[in-house]
Amino acid sequence: MYLRVFSRLLSAMAGPRPVVLSGPSGAGKSTLLKRLLKEYEGVFGFSVSHTTRNPRPGEENGKDYHYVTREVMQRRIEAGEFIENAEFSGNMYGTSKASVQDVQAKNLICILDIDMQGVRNIKQTDLNPIYVSIQPPSMAILEKRLRDRQTETEESLQKRLAAAQADMEISNEPGLFDVVIVNDDLEEAYGKLKGVLIEEIEKVQEAKKS
């Protein structure tokens, strides 16, 4: 019930459509997203997710994620504070209502960087975002990218690869995403990402001029 009530609230708010950005770890979402935010400064707002996993080197609490304990996360989910949540590799992730509201209230395009479970949850609301999937060109290339990071244990890496395989298969389901971008060539992938978002980008830019 709370999802329907909240989604109606979001639909009633004036502003550009949010963007759901999904894809396996190592597909290049972060690289494309950082470039988008740099080129279109002041257009996008990043919805900061909550997670129970530990920060990686260089990550900041409140910027990359809100890092919380499993107990705190579970309590907030039960209190209805999240529009989606999922568990991956033994860690919980979720998007809070407040994080989306904060971005939309500023008339910015809210970016939701979530996994496939989250995508399915959002599909049950009236949020009406643009759904974009970023995929690697192959499992072999994805594995190399993940190993080059040197941030995973072998067990964690194998879990991510298994999840990525499922992600790549599910992303091709008809109607799940508005566009699936295979990140083989960074320039080409970025061009496709801009192409699908340009209408909303221009709306925000025009609103800022008026």
Residue 177 has pLDDT above 90, yes or no: yes
Quick check: 92 and 12 in contact, CB under 8 A?
no
Q: What is the pLDDT of residue 69?
A: 97
Q: Which residues contact 195 (CB under 8 A, 6 or more apart)?
A: none
Q: What is the pLDDT of residue 105?
A: 81
Please give the average per-residue pLDDT across 60-87, as a whole number: 92
Catalytic residue, candidates 56, 76, 120, 147: 56
CATH topology of domain 2-202: Rossmann fold (3.40.50)
For the entire predicted model, the pTM comes to: 0.75
Calculate what percentage of the chain has a pLDDT beyond 70.
Answer: 93
Q: 104 or 196: whose pLDDT is higher? A: 196
pLDDT in tens, 7-19: 444 444 446 889 9
To the query of whether residue 149 is one of the catalytic residues in this protein, the response is yes
Whole-number average pLDDT of the chain: 87
Distance CA 113, CA 48 (A): 8
Sign of the alpha-carbon dihedral angle for 60, 143, 86, 23: positive
Q: What is the pLDDT of residue 11?
A: 45
To the query of whether residue 160 is one of the catalytic residues in this protein, the response is yes
Residue 2 has pLDDT above 50, yes or no: no
pLDDT in tens, 106-163: 899 999 988 888 898 888 877 789 999 999 988 888 888 888 887 778 888 888 888 8
Distance CA 110, CA 61 (A): 19
Catalytic residue, candidates 4, 8, 70, 149: 149
The number of helix segments (H) and strand segments (E) in the chain equals 8, 9
Quick check: 167 and 24 in contact, CB under 8 A?
yes
- Count Cα atoms within 13 angstroms, Cβ side, for 141: 11
- 87: number of Cβ within 10 Å: 14
- Per DSSP bridges, beta strands 50-51 and 91-96 are antiparallel
Q: Which residues contact 9 (CB under 8 A, 6 or more apart)?
A: none
Lowest-confidence region among 65-69, 99-103, 166-170: 99-103
Where do the H-state alpha helices sit in the chain? 2-12, 29-39, 70-78, 97-104, 116-123, 139-149, 154-170, 186-209
Helix-, strand-, coil-residue percentages of the chain, each rounded to 5: 45, 20, 35
Q: 61 or 105: whose pLDDT is higher? A: 61
Tokens representing residue 18 in the block: 């949010």
